[in-house]
Amino acid sequence: MHRLRPSARAALLCCAALAALPALAAARTYDVTAPPYSAAGNGTTNDRLAIQQAIEDASAAGGGTVLVPAGRTFLSGGIRLRSNVTFQLDGTLQQSLNTAHYAVAPMVGWDVPGSTLNWDSTAFHNQPFVFAADAENVTLTTSGRGTIQMGVTPTSATAIRVDAIGFRDVERCWINNITTRDVIGFNIVLDRANHCDITGTYLNSKAGSLGSDGINITGSQHVKVLYNHVSAGDDGLYIAVSYGDPRFTGPWRAPDTGGAARYIEIANNEVVDFGHQNAFTLIPWGSLDPDQRNVEISDVSIHDNTFIADVAQAVDCRCDNPWRGTRRYFQDTDRGDQSPMTRFSMWNNVFISRTRVPNFPTWVGATFTDSQFGGLSGAPGAIRSSPSIQNGGFERTGSAWWSIGGVGGATNDPAMLPAGAGAALRALGGWAGFVLPSGTATTSLVQGLGLENAADLGLPLVGVAGAATYRLDATVVTNGQPFRVYAHDTCENRVLAQQTVSATTATRVSLPFSVTRSCGNVHLGIDRGGATSGWALIDDVELRAPVVGNEDPSLRTVGTWGRDWAGGDMGGTHHHDNGTGSTVTIPFTGTRGRVLAPKGPGWGIASVSVDGGPAVDVDLYGAAAAWHATVFDTGVLPFGRHTVTMTVSGRKHPSSTGTWIAFDALLVS
C-alpha cells in the first residue's frame, strides 16, 4: 500500500485547519466509552447504538465533540453525523459485516443484482459507513491518526460495499487527518456539499478493488482538497457533475437533481491509482439538465500535485455522458455531450503513467473555456481552451461557458433588464448575453478560447501562407453608449482587435484579427468600453476559424470514432470509424470548406454531404499512404453557417483492405 509520511508543512496546515473549526462556546465532549454510552471498544461488540446516541445528544445540545478514544477498536454498523458535531476519531472504527448492526440494512454484494446498468455498484445505494446528510458544521477529525477500517470478506458476493465517508447536502464540513483502510466503495464522497475542506488524510482502497475510488467531489462548491495521500483501486480523485443518473435511486445518492461544481482547489496531494483507471479524472455527466448553469464545472485550481497511474493514464476526462444517447460500456464516443467546464487552471503538477504514454484526454476530448494550463510534467502536448465558441446563442445554457466581470450574464427574461434592454431582448427573440456597467468598474462578458497560429494549425503543410486569420461575429444592441467588442490575448496581455459599438438597433458586428503566436486563452466578447452606465446585449456569437480540426468540440459524431496519433496529419491526429452508418458532422462559418483526410491501402468510401443535401461518394483508397489529402471540396457557398457530414458507407475500392474512413481537418475560406 502506497504511503508517505506527512510533511511538516502538511502538519502545520492540518493544525491550522483544526484551529479554523467552528467555535462552540463551552461545548461538551461526549466520550462514547463513558456512561451513559459505555461503548465496549473491544472490536467484537456492536457499538453503533452507543456511538450514535452520543452523536444525537451532542447535536440536540446545540453541538459538541463526540470522542472515540485512542487505542481501542469500535465495531459498528453505519453511523450518521449531525449538525454542529465534531466527531473526533482517535481510535479505530471497524465496519461490521453483520447487516443486523446497521440502522438501514445494506444491500450485500458487489453490484446490484439483476441490474442492466453499467457500474451499478451497491455502494451507490447503501448508506456510507460514516454518513452526513442535510446538515451543517460537520467535522470528522482526529488528534492522532484515527482510522476507519472497512470490513473484508472472502468473496465479492458477500461484501457489504459502502463508501467509507459520504456527505450529501452538507453546508460547511471538515475532514482532517483520517486514515481509511481496505475500502471497496469510495473513500470520500462530497455530493452537493459546500464550503468543505479535506486535508491531511491517508486513503487506502483494498488491493484489487476495481471500483474503489479515492476522493469524489460531485456537484459541490467551495471545496479545498489539500495535502492528502490517496491510494485507490479505481479513479484516485475526480470532480463530477451529474443529472438524472439512473443508478442513483436511493437512499444514499438519490435523487440526482444536479448541482454545479465550483470554486475548488486541489493542491499538494499525492494520488496513486493502482487499479485500471486514472489518478485524476473529470466526469461532466450533466448534459440532461435543461439548464446547464446548474451542472457547470468552473473556477477550479489544480496545482502542485503528483498524479500516478500504475496501469491506465494518469489524467483523463470521461467527457461523454453514458446516460444520454446510446449506452456503451465505459463511455460513448459521441462528442458535444459534456457539461460546461470553464475557468480551470492547472500548473506545476506531475503526471506519471507507468505503463502508458499519458494523454489528456482520451477518446472524447475535454472542452474548456477561459482556462490556463501549464507545468504539465509527464503529459505531452498542450492543453488549451476550446478553439470554437460554446453556447454562442445563450440558448438553454444561459451564461454557461462564459465569464462575467461585474454586472452581466445571460437571460431570456426581459424583467431582469432595464426597460429599453427588455424591449431589445424581446426583439432578439429570447436568450441573449448582457452587460450593465456602473461607472468605470470592470464590466464584461467574455469567452476564453485556445487559438493557434498558422504553424501550429498546420497551414504550411497544405500550402496556405500568411498569418492565421480569424473573425468574431456577433449581434449587438446598446442604449447608445460606446461599448466594445474585442479580442484580447491573455498570454501576452495585448488586444488583437477591437471595435466600438453604440448601435441602438440589433447590428451584426464583424471583427477580423490575426493570431501570430498561439495562446491557450484568448478572450472574445464585449465589455463596457467607454460606457459608464446603460446596457448592451450580445447574441449569436460565432468565430470564423481558418481550420476546423478533428479535436474541435463543435464536431458531432455518431458511432465509435477513435483517435490516431499519426505524424503526417495536419493537426497531429485524425479520427476514424468503420461502422456502417457512423457519421461525423463538421460545422463551419464561411463560403467554402475543403475536407482533409488520410488516403491509403486500407481506407474505404465515405458518403459526404453539405448542409444535409445529397451525398456523394469519396474514395479514400490509395495505393500508397498520403496524409492531409484534399478529398472533398464544397465549392463556393453563400457566406454563413454550413455543415459537412461524412458517413461510413461500408463500401470500399476493390483493392482496399478495409472500409474505414477518416477525418483530419476542414480548411475554411
Alpha-carbon distance 439 to 451, whole Å?
A: 32
pLDDT (0 to 100) of residue 178:
99
Mean pLDDT score, 650-659:
98
Second-level CATH architecture of 8-30+88-96+130-146+162-377: 3 Solenoid (2.160)
The conformation of residue 109, written as its DSSP 8-state character, comes to B
Predicted pLDDT at 562:
82
SS3 50: helix
DSSP string, 191-225: ES-EEEEEES-EEEBPTT-TT--SEEEES-EEEEE
pLDDT above 50 (res 12): no
CB-based contact 270:314 (threshold 8 Å): no
Predicted confidence band at 16 (pLDDT cuts at 50, 70, 90)?
very low
Q: Is the pLDDT of residue 496 over 50?
A: yes
Q: What is the pLDDT of residue 68?
A: 99
Q: 403-545 has which fold?
A: Jelly Rolls (2.60.120)
C-alpha angle 195/199/202, rounded to 5°? 135
- Distance from C-alpha of 54 to C-alpha of 147, rounded to nearest angstrom: 19
pTM over 0.75: yes
Q: Which helix (H) or strand (E) holds 454?
A: helix 454-457
pLDDT at site 334: 62
pLDDT digits (tens, 9 = 90+) for 451-488: 999 999 999 999 998 999 999 999 999 999 999 999 99
All 3 cell numbers of residue 1?
Answer: 500500500
Query: Around Cβ 250, how many Cβ atoms within 10 Å?
Result: 11
Q: Which amino acid is at 243?
A: Y
Position 332 scores a pLDDT of: 52
Distance CA 187, CA 195 (A): 19
Cα separation, 206 vs 216, in Å, equals 17
- Give 602-618 pLDDT, tens digit per residue: 999 999 999 999 999 99
Q: pLDDT tens digits for 319-339?
A: 888 888 665 544 455 666 889
At 90-106, the pLDDT tens digits run 999 999 999 999 999 99
Residue 134's identity, in one-letter code, is: D
Whether 302 has a pLDDT exceeding 70, the answer reads yes
CA 154 → CA 109, 160, 458, 518, distances in Å? 12, 11, 57, 56
Between CA 461 and CA 341 the distance in angstroms is 32
Mapping DSSP to helix (H, G, I), strand (E, B) and coil, where does residue 297 land?
strand
Each residue's pLDDT tens digit, 391-425: 999 987 899 999 999 999 999 999 999 989 999 99
- 416 or 363: whose pLDDT is higher? 416
| pLDDT reading at 386 higher than 70 | yes
Residue 117 has phi, psi (to 5 degrees) of -85, 145
Give the bridge partners for 138, in sequence order: 173
Give the torsion through C-alpha atoms of 198, 200, 201, 207, to 10 deg. Answer: 120
The per-residue pLDDT of the chain, averaged, comes to: 91
pLDDT band at 364 (very low <50, low <70, confident <90, very high): low
Q: Is the pLDDT of residue 14 over 90?
A: no
| pLDDT higher than threshold 80 for residue 8 | no
Distance, CA of 484 to CA of 436 (rounded, Å): 13
- What mean pLDDT is predicted for residues 148-156? 95
| Cα separations in angstroms, 302 against 25, 239, 306 | 36, 11, 11
- Of 94 and 21, the structure prediction assigns the larger pLDDT to 94
Question: Which triple of cell numbers denotes residue 345?
Answer: 487552471
Query: For residue 13, which of 176, 141, 159 has the smallest C-alpha distance?
Result: 176
Give the pLDDT of residue 6: 40
SS3 15: helix
Three cell numbers, residue 407 = 454586472
* pLDDT-derived band at 1, boundaries 50, 70, 90: very low
Give me the residue label for grid cell 447504538.
Answer: 49
CATH 2.60.120.260 occupies which residues in the chain? Answer: 403-545, 548-668
From 389, 357, 594, 584, select the one nearest 473 (Cα to Cα). 389
Kindly report, as residue ranges, where domains of CATH 2.160.20 are found in the chain.
8-30+88-96+130-146+162-377
Residue 2 confidence (pLDDT): 38
pLDDT in tens, 196-238: 999 999 999 998 888 899 999 999 999 999 999 999 999 999 9
Q: How confident is the model at residue 380 (pLDDT cuts 50, 70, 90)?
A: very low
Lowest mean pLDDT among 282-286, 544-548, 565-569: 565-569
Q: Can you give the pLDDT at residue 381?
A: 44
What's the alpha-carbon Rg for the chain, to the nearest Å?
Answer: 28
Residue 327, pLDDT score: 54
Cα–Cα distance measured from residue 651 to residue 115, given in angstroms and rounded to the nearest whole number: 38
Residue 522, CA distances (Å) to 328, 387, 669 in order? 36, 9, 22
For 155-209, write each residue's pLDDT tens digit: 999 999 999 999 999 999 999 999 999 999 999 999 999 999 999 999 999 988 8
Pick the CATH number of 548-668 from 3.40.50.10310, 2.60.120.10, 3.40.640.10, 2.60.120.260: 2.60.120.260
**Looking at residue 396, what is its pLDDT?**
72
Q: Which residues pair with 593 in a beta bridge?
A: 668
Looking at the DSSP bridge assignments, the partners of residue 621 are: 600
Least confident of 38-52, 287-301, 370-384, 651-665: 370-384
